[in-house]
Amino acid sequence: MTHQADIEQLIQLAIATSQNAYIPYSHYPVGAALRATDGTIFTGCNVENASYPVTICAERTALVKAVSEGRRAFDTIAVVTRNGGSPCGMCRQMLFEFAPEMRVILADLQGNITLDCSLSDLLPHGFRPQHLE
């Protein structure tokens, strides 16, 4: 169970990280803060590219930072946008690989929560590693 103070911390970290977003094309900043089950928090922002599809989203930035630092279990992710935008399908699938039941908190850039649900709510019947066994 994640305490309210922890949620607030994740949202504030996501907001701060959104300020590092590299967004010359969309001008749409996104920030994410992903908490591993050991309590470590990994942040991410979106990083765009002149070759548009090369862009990486904030959520996947945070996830690859975490996995490359040895974490594979997560309990919560906070994602902030200016208008409550929700994670794209690619990010949902990539997060689902590691923690289908993690809590997903969406908030705006003022910290107002717009959605609080589980990843499996966002990606019902998702494709799992077990499908390949």
Binding mask 84-103 for ligand THU (x = CB under 6 A): -x-xx--x------------
Give the burial string for 105-115 (b: 16+ CB within 10 Å, else e).
Answer: bbbbbeeeeee
Sole binder of ligand THU in the list 23, 64, 67, 109 (CB under 6 A): 23
Cα angle: 59, vertex 60, 65; to 5 degrees:
105
Q: What is the rounded CA–CA span in Å between residue 46 and residue 31?
A: 7
Q: Does residue number 40 form part of the binding site for ligand THU (CB under 6 A)?
A: no
48 carries an active-site annotation: no
Which window, 10-18, 26-34, 102-110, 125-133, contacts ligand THU (CB under 6 A)? 26-34
- Helix orientation angle between 89-96 and 58-68, rounded to the nearest 10 degrees: 20
**Closer CB to ligand THU, residue 34 or residue 70?**
34
Give the residue, chosen from 19, 26, 37, 118, that forms a contact with ligand THU under the rule CB under 6 A.
26
